[in-house]
Structure 1
Amino acid sequence: MNDEQVIADLHSRWMFGWERNEGDAPFDFRRTFDEFYDFSSPDVRLYDDFDPEQRVAKTAAGYGSIWEPNFHKMVSAHHAVDDGPHVIADHDLAASTLTFVARITMPDVTTDIRTTTSLVWRRTPDGWRIVREHNSTTVLPTGKLDGRLPAPEAL
Structure 2
Amino acid sequence: MVADLHSRWVFGWERDEGDAPFDFRRTFDEFYDFDSQDVRLYDDFDPEQRVAMTAVAYGAIWEPAFREMVSARHAVDDGPHVVVGGELAASTLAFVARITMPDAITDLRTTTSLVWHRTPKGWRIVREHNSSKVLPTGALDGMCVRTRT
Identity of aligned residues (%): 79
* Partner Cα separation in structure 1 for residue 111 and residue 99 of structure 2: 16
Q: In structure 1, what is the equivalent of residue 40 of structure 2?
A: 45
Structure 1 unaligned regions, length at least 5: 1-5, 151-155
Q: CA RMSD in A?
A: 0.5
Q: How many residues align?
A: 145
**2:5 aligned partner, one-letter code:** L
SS at match of 1:102: strand
**What is the deviation of 1:149?**
2.0
SS in 2 for 1:95: strand
After TM superposition, the score normalised by the length of structure 2 is: 0.96
Q: Please name the residue that 2:51 is paired with.
A: 56
| 2:146 paired with 1:146 | no
Partner of 2:9: 14
1:147 CA drift (Å): 1.2
Matched, 1:87 2:85: no
Cα separation, 2, equivalents of 1:98 and 1:40:
25
In 1, distance between residues paired with 2:129 and 2:15?
Answer: 21
